[in-house]
């Protein structure tokens, strides 16, 4: 997961005009410095022994010294524009349209007088949306007053006040970061992926917003290791349920990490089977692309521990239903869908990838329709009886309450939010929580179950 813009790189890419007038080919080392800045500043950063010394996330307020982050000049512009869009959107009031089934959207209404009442909204259970004196309230056919929607979610190992979870990979690597996110309106937390040994971040750049809504990252699964994180679990108590993400190079390593963390108090585990930016040839890269290996890993962890297991699956496979089948055969209790999409971006000025590690994963709003398709495929397979009925944690490009509703309506039980924190930080949970409550009350959904899976009826032919 991309952790934010970080410190801008010191080097500047030569403009086309400058390069045209060069009399000879530039020295390759000079090109490297121009692209990445001083190589000495890119030495791997060790995870600080004291979590309070340095935040896990790199932001404008808390830059990560010497790291890549969003550093190449042209990409900074996209990040700045994205932040401006978010700020503009937050300043605009919510407005509900009159078109049947129309999305709840943010729009400027200062130039228009809102209608005194809205008519019947088709396709939403016959509930009506009323507005009087500028106050939105739900008008039911029986005339009862509106009530606060129940956003609570009860899943194996996760009793949450709402379906909004911190995704693995961002602000979940140390106690200080987890406590900070837990103080928001999120319903649950997912830790950074924890492996058998401490691991450092890849050389930068590690994260780039390549275009609007397209976030590329290759962090390298940096983490303090299972022993250190086990000590954290024994020392800390979090105010929100914590799902701990784990990874390993083979089934034995997954099981070993699981045993250490469960012994320290972990109540549920997410098995990261699908990180797309491992080094070429890595067995960890292959696991999520072969159902037999998925089953082997999940089965090994299932034999090692007795806590709920969520298998995080990859979109970079031939059949995600086959992968889910393997995960359930191995003993998974639920699924996390999806991990990032394998991707590549090239800087045309220097003719090489923009990410320090050649392989990277794509996240952000652009991947949401892909994630929704995968969630729908699994939900439909569950409806057909091809898969056991189990919870799905939807992941991929969620930035608004409408995005949450879309995943729930496609069968997800809860969602994980990650990339949105790049632009809004942890406060994004407060905004989306309030918007989701308002959306559900307005549409007449008493709880999440009332809208769960309602979009699947129109997708019966999808396989």
Tens of pLDDT along 279-337? 455 555 578 889 999 999 999 999 999 999 999 999 999 999 999 999 999 999 999 99
Q: Bin 134: left if φ > 0, else alpha if -120 < ψ < 50, else beta.
A: left
Residues 122 and 388: their CA atoms lie apart, in Å, by 32
Q: Name the strand (E) or helix (H) holding 215.
A: strand 214-217
What pLDDT is recorded for position 84? 56
| Local mean pLDDT, 10-residue blocks, the chain (463 residues) | 36 30 41 36 33 37 35 38 50 34 32 28 32 37 57 98 95 92 98 95 87 91 95 97 96 98 98 68 70 97 99 95 98 97 92 87 96 98 97 98 98 98 94 97 97 95 71
Q: How far apart are CA 406 and CA 390, in angstroms?
A: 18
Give the whole-angstrom CA distance, residue 240 versus residue 183.
9
> What pLDDT is recorded for position 171?
84
**CATH for 16-89+149-459?**
3.20.20.70
Length of the chain: 463
d(CA 132, CA 145): 14
Report CA dihedral (33, 35, 37, 38) to the nearest 10 degrees.
-20
Whether the Cβ atoms of residue 148 and residue 437 lie closer than 8 Å to each other: yes
d(Cα 376, Cα 455) in Å, to the nearest integer?
Answer: 9
Place of tokens 């439909």: 380
d(CA 117, CA 446) in angstroms, rounded, equals 21
For residue 416, the tally of other CB atoms under 10 A from its CB is 28
- The token pair at 409 is 């309506």
Indicate the domain borders of the chain: 16-89+149-459, 107-139
Q: What are phi and psi of 237, to 5 degrees?
A: -125, 125
Instruction: Give the model's pLDDT for residue 460.
Output: 82
Bond before 205 cis per omega within 30 degrees: yes
Distance, in Å, from the CA atom of 364 to the CA atom of 419, rounded to the nearest integer, reads 5
At 287 the pLDDT is 87
**Please, which residues have CB within 8 angstroms of residue 450's CB and are 6 or more apart in sequence?**
125, 440, 444
Contact between residue 418 and residue 395 where contact means Cβ atoms under 8 Å apart: yes
Separation CA 359–CA 280 (nearest Å): 8
The pLDDT value given to residue 285: 58
Residue 141 pLDDT: 36
Give the pair of three-digit tokens for residue 438.
Answer: 């308002």
Task: For residues 123 and 259, give the distance between their C-alpha atoms in angstroms, rounded to a whole number.
Answer: 48
Tokens representing 304? Answer: 């090692």
User: Alpha-carbon distance 213 to 399, whole Å?
Assistant: 10
How would you classify the pairing of strands 164-166 and 117-120?
Answer: unpaired
Q: Residues 64, 186, 275, 360: which is the catalytic one?
A: 275
Helix orientation angle between 368-383 and 320-330, rounded to the nearest 10 degrees: 60
pLDDT for 230 equals: 98
Q: Say what the pLDDT of residue 358 is.
A: 79
Sign of CA dihedral 178, 391, 398, 301: positive
Task: Please say if 186 is a catalytic residue.
Answer: no
Q: Are strands 341-343 and 153-155 parallel, antiparallel or unpaired?
A: unpaired
């Amino acid at each position: 997961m991309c952790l934010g813009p970080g410190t801008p790189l010191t080097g500047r890419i030569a403009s086309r005009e400058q390069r045209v007038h060069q009399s000879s080919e530039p020295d390759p080392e000079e090109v490297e410095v121009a692209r990445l800045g001083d190589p000495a500043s890119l030495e791997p950063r060790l995870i600080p022994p004291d979590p309070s010394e340095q935040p896990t996330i790199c932001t404008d307020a808390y830059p990560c010294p010497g790291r890549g982050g969003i550093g190449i000049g042209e990409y900074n512009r996209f990040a700045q524009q994205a932040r401006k869009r978010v700020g503009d959107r937050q300043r605009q009031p919510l407005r509900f349209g009159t078109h049947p089934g129309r999305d709840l959207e943010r729009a400027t209404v200062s130039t228009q007088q809102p209608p005194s009442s809205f008519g019947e909204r088709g396709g939403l259970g016959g509930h009506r949306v009323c507005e009087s004196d500028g106050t939105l309230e739900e008008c039911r056919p029986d005339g009862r007053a509106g009530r606060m929607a129940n956003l609570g979610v009860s899943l194996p190992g996760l009793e949450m006040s709402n379906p909004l979870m911190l995704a693995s990979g961002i602000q979940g690597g140390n106690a200080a970061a987890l406590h900070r996110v837990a103080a928001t309106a999120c319903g649950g937390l997912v830790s950074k992926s924890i492996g058998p040994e401490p691991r450092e971040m890849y050389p930068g750049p590690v994260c780039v917003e390549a275009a609007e809504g397209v976030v590329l990252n290759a962090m390298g699964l940096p983490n303090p290791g299972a022993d250190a994180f086990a000590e954290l679990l024994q020392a800390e108590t979090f105010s929100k349920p914590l799902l701990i993400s784990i990874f390993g190079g083979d089934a034995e390593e997954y099981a070993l990490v699981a045993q250490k963390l469960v012994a320290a108090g972990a109540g549920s585990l997410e098995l990261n089977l699908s990180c797309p930016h491992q080094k070429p040839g890595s067995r960890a890269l292959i696991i999520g692309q072969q159902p037999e290996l998925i089953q082997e890993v999940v089965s090994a962890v299932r034999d090692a521990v007795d806590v709920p297991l969520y298998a995080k699956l990859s979109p970079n496979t031939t059949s995600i239903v086959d992968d889910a089948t393997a995960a359930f055969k191995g003993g998974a209790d639920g699924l996390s869908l999806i991990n990032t999409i394998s991707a590549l971006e090239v800087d045309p000025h220097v003719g090489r990838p923009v990410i320090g590690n050649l392989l990277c994963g794509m996240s952000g709003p652009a991947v949401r329709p892909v994630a929704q398709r995968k969630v729908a495929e699994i939900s439909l397979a569950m409806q057909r009886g091809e898969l056991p009925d189990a919870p799905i944690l939807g992941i991929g490009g969620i930035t608004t309450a409408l995005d949450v509703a879309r995943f729930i309506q496609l069968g997800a039980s809860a969602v994980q939010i990650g990339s949105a924190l790049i632009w809004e930080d942890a406060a994004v949970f407060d905004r989306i929580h309030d918007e989701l409550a308002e959306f559900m009350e307005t549409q007449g959904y008493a709880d999440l179950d009332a809208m769960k899976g309602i979009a699947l009826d129109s997708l019966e032919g999808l396989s």
